[in-house]
Each structure stands twice: as C-alpha cells, then as structure tokens.
Structure 1
Amino acid sequence: MNRQLERLYRTAALLALITIFYNILEGVVSAWFGFEDESLALFGFGLDSFVEVVSGAGIWHMVRRQRENPEQAPDQFERGALRITGGGFYLLAAGLLFTAAYDAFRGHAPTTTFWGIVVSCISILSMWLLIQQKVKVGKALGSQAILADAACTKVCLYLSVILLVSSAGYYLTGIGWLDSAGALGIAWFSLKEGKEAFDKASGLPCSCS
C-alpha cells in the first residue's frame, strides 16, 4: 500500500474516532442539560448521540478492515454493531413519540431551551466540518462505504437543525409544544436511522442523503 493511500485510510479512521468521541461528549452534555432543564428535545438529542457511538464504532472497524481488504464484505462485528444501532434508534423513537405526546397533552414546557440552542449550534458546525472531510476522503479512496457514512452524518446535521429550530422557537415565544415538536422530529429521524442501520447490516447501501 503506497503512502498516499495509507495516509487517506489513517485520516478516515481518525474521522471515525473523532465522530465517536464527539458523540460521547455531546451525548453527556445534551442528556444532562436536557434532564436539568426538562427539555425533551435536548434530552432525546443526547440519547441519539449515544446510539451514534455504536454506529461510529462499526464505521471505525470497517475502515480498519478495508485497509487490509477493500473488497471484503462486512464482518460479524460490523453487522452486530449495525443491528444494535438500529434497535437502539427504534427504542429511542418509540420513547420520544410516547413522551412527546404525553408532554403535549399535559401542556408541559421546559424550564429553558438556552442550552439546546448552544449545543445545536456547535453540533451544526462540527457535523458540517466532518461531512466535508468524510466526502473528501471517501472520494479520494473511491469508497462508497465512507461516502455513505458521510451521507448519514448529514442526518446528525438535520437533527441539530431541528433542535435549534425548536429550542430557539421556544426561547423566543415561550410556546411549550415547540419542544415536543422538536422531540417528534428527532424521533422521525431516529426511525429513519434505525432502518438505515438494519439495511446496512443486510448489505444494502445507505441512502441517508
């Protein structure tokens, strides 16, 4: 393997690790402030980040495998990680749908959504940078798997936009159901991500974009 190719694979692996550790940090911060401020959208966003960690581990393993044998099919570790990820997203979506409906019925409103605005703005910038780098490396390697991962990272960016809109909307208007609406949007994308994970585990291409 020449030096240029090795460098690209190292970059791809580094991007996967950055995604993993960023999602761990984002998940802790979002879940904590979401719980403290009683913001369901922010709390759900944090739980979504934790599920993304498992997916990121599968991608990191995939990059390592592709360095040795690019044509090899996904192995048991990758398929297992993807199925766990898919199941996690489905459970998260179900929980958010039930809780959002309950909160909307009760007229519950969060204490504040300030931290939802802060977290979402940081996440939008971070995800955008990760997408650019993943697309660059994926095209250089001619790797459809890495490009598919970049497309799936767009889902994280969309989730951040939903969180920003719902958090800023509540912060500016005080309309309580906007937080529940944001949680429902995150639940919808969680269902989509769950399906994509199971599709990839079955060897189907990702169509997150």
Structure 2
Amino acid sequence: MSGAPAPTARRAVLRRRIRLLVAATITYNLVEAVVAIIAGTIADSVALIGFGLDSVVEVSSAAAVAWQFAGPDPERREKVALRVIAWSFFALAAYVAVEALRTLIGAERPEHSPVGIGLVALSVLVMPFLSHAQRRAGREYGSASAVADSRQTLLCTYLSAAVLVGLVLNSTLGWWWADPVVALGLAVVAVREGRAALRGETCCAPVQLGQADEDGDPPAGGCGCGGGPAS
C-alpha cells in the first residue's frame, strides 16, 4: 500500500514542478514581450511598452529562479535570486515612470492598438494560473524566491488589467492620459514589490511537508510563505 511521499521525495517533486512552471513563464513572457513592445512602439503607448518590458523583467526573474533550482542546493542560491528579482522590479519602475512623465508633459500621444488590446486581454486570463501554481509549490517548498517570482507574475496580471483599461479608454473615449497614468501606477507597485523581495519578506519557514492544504497554504497557526497578494 502506498503512503504519503517521504519529505525528500516530496521536495524533489516540488523542485521539478517549480522548474516546469518557470520554463512555461519564460516561454510565454518572451513571446508577450516581443509582441507588446512592437505594438507599443507602433502606437506610441508607454503603458503597452512598459507592459512588454515587464514581460522582460518577468523573464529575468523567472530565469533567476530557474538558475537557483538547477543547482543541487537551491537554498544556497536563494539570496542571489531574490536580489535579481528585486532589482528587476526597480529597473522596470524607473523606465516606466520616466516614459510616463514624458508622455504627460508633451510627448506623442498614444494611438489605438487592437493588437495590444488582444494581447493584454489574453494575459489577464493566462497569468493568474501560472502565478497561483508557482505560489502553491513555492510556499510548500519554503522558497522565498519562488514565491517572489509568483508575485512578479501576479503583478503582471494586475498590470495586464490596468493596461487593458487604459488602452480601451484611449481607443473608445480618446482619453490618452489614461495610458501614462496607468503606467505610473505600475511603477509605484513595482517599487513596493522590489523592496519586499530585497528584504526577503516573501517567505518564512517552509511548511511541514504533508501539512499544507490542497491550495498549498499552511495549516491554521502555521507559517509557510505568504505575504503576497491573494490570487
């Protein structure tokens, strides 16, 4: 009769799952980045370009986690991976804030972008599933970097929704300023998430294997990795 997996076996399963989720995130975001940056450049949309650059940041963040879990001892690489994720957030915030302010004070106004709207709408549907799956695995494993990367993916979901609103308002009502305002909101959130990752505030002790609930959450009174936005 088969019983629950031994802790070491379960951790091996979680490591493989995290690597697969990271690979899926990298693949999707590479395609998303190329399409968004091209569409944003054509439409002069700082929010859409920022969305594409967020995808590049997500790739670097996921790549840091992939590097961490490719080694025999992921815990030893945790701090380096967290620093990469944190500075990726900061780089995104700096670029988007500068470009959004340039648009608001007189640069070219964004144009209608049907391709951008379709791409962002797709991301609103795809990203929550990737984020939730990685958060579950990261929380159960006890990996701050995996949880931080899932928060980066979740931020991409929020960004997708905000950018979608801005693009639709610009296309339907001519509210060109909605595009850079949305981008500035993204910059603020990115700075907050970067600071949290830099301080390592995305995780505490790992959940006792076998005690997490079906969503990967710790039992009542337990710790586990948390502190991120609910998905």
Under TM normalisation by the shorter chain, which class is it? 0.7 to 0.9
Match of 2:211 in 1: none
- SS at 1:106 equivalent: coil
Distance 1:113 1:189, change over 3 A: farther
Is the Cα contact below 8 Å between 1:13 and 1:63 reproduced in 2?
yes
Is the Cα contact below 8 Å between 2:89 and 2:193 reproduced in 1?
yes
Distance 1:11 1:111, change over 3 A: same
Q: What pairs up with 1:163-178 in 2 under 5 angstroms?
A: 163-178=163-178
Distance 1:88 1:153, change over 3 A: closer
Is the Cα contact below 8 Å between 2:21 and 2:134 reproduced in 1?
yes
Alpha-carbon shift at residue 43 of structure 1 (Å): 0.2
Distance 1:170 1:189, change over 3 A: same
Match of 1:59 in 2: 65
Is the Cα contact below 8 Å between 1:159 and 1:189 reproduced in 2?
no
Alpha-carbon shift at residue 37 of structure 1 (Å): 1.1
What 5-or-longer segments of structure 1 have no aligned partner? none
- SS at 2:83 equivalent: helix
Alpha-carbon shift at residue 144 of structure 1 (Å): 4.8
Alpha-carbon shift at residue 127 of structure 1 (Å): 0.8
Is the Cα contact below 8 Å between 1:33 and 1:42 reproduced in 2?
yes
Match of 1:134 in 2: 134
Q: What pairs up with 1:1-209 in 2 under 5 angstroms?
A: 5-65=11-71, 68-69=72-73, 73-75=75-77, 78-106=78-106, 108-138=108-138, 141-145=140-144, 146-200=146-200, 207-209=227-229
Alpha-carbon shift at residue 3 of structure 1 (Å): 5.9
CA distance in 1, matches of 2:80, 2:132: 28
CA distance in 2, matches of 1:135, 1:194: 17
- One-letter amino acid of the structure 1 residue matched with residue 21 of structure 2: L
| TM-score (structure 1 length as normaliser) | 0.80
Is the Cα contact below 8 Å between 1:39 and 1:110 reproduced in 2?
yes
Alpha-carbon shift at residue 91 of structure 1 (Å): 3.2
Alpha-carbon shift at residue 23 of structure 1 (Å): 1.6
Larger of the two Rg values belongs to structure: 2
CA distance in 2, matches of 1:4, 1:94: 40
**Bigger share in helix:** 1
Distance 1:81 1:151, change over 3 A: closer
Is the Cα contact below 8 Å between 1:34 and 1:43 reproduced in 2?
yes
RMSD over aligned Cα, in angstroms? 2.9
CA distance in 1, matches of 2:192, 2:226: 11
% identical equivalent positions:
31
- One-letter amino acid of the structure 2 residue matched with residue 178 of structure 1: A
CA distance in 1, matches of 2:185, 2:114: 19
What 5-or-longer segments of structure 2 have no aligned partner? 1-5, 205-224
Is the Cα contact below 8 Å between 1:40 and 1:183 reproduced in 2?
yes
Alpha-carbon shift at residue 179 of structure 1 (Å): 1.0
- Alignment length, in residue pairs? 202
CA deviations over 1:32-81 (Å, ceiling 9, x no partner): 1111111110001111111221111121233344xx45xx6442xx5444
CA distance in 1, matches of 2:44, 2:130: 30
Is the Cα contact below 8 Å between 1:152 and 1:208 reproduced in 2?
no
| TM-score (structure 2 length as normaliser) | 0.74
CA distance in 2, matches of 1:48, 1:87: 12
- SS at 1:190 equivalent: helix
